[in-house]
Amino acid sequence: MSQYKNNHKDWIKGWQLEKDAPYDELWLEERKQLFALNGNGWWWGWTEENCPLDDLKPHLKHLYELREKERKRHTHDRCHS
């Protein structure tokens, strides 16, 4: 789930899913996308510049480019909806 959808003010409206998180289809799909993009988080905070593992740097660069592309797409969608 991207941060654009994670607005704490929306919680006033109640739970946004139909079922509990581990059983909800939307939650599972968003979780799958999140982990596909970010991995499991063990390297969280590393960038291409500060990563101590040279083999991981191209992967981090690719992830950063994907995130930027998603961010721009969501910004564009919100501005034109």
7 within domain boundaries: no
Q: What pLDDT does residue 1 have?
A: 47
**Are both 50 and 20 inside the same structural domain?**
no
Note the pLDDT tens digit of each residue in 13-34.
677 788 888 889 988 988 888 7
For residues 3-42, one letter each, b for 16 or more C-beta atoms within 10 angstroms of the residue's C-beta and e for the rest, the string is eeeeeeeeeeeeeeeeeeeeebeebeebeeeeeeeeeeee
Residue 79: pLDDT over 70: no
Note the pLDDT tens digit of each residue in 35-70.
776 667 666 677 888 888 899 899 889 988 988 888
Residues of the domain holding 53: 43-81
By CB atoms closer than 10 A (0-12, 13-18, 19+), residue 72 is: exposed
3 within domain boundaries: no
Tokens of 81: 């909806």
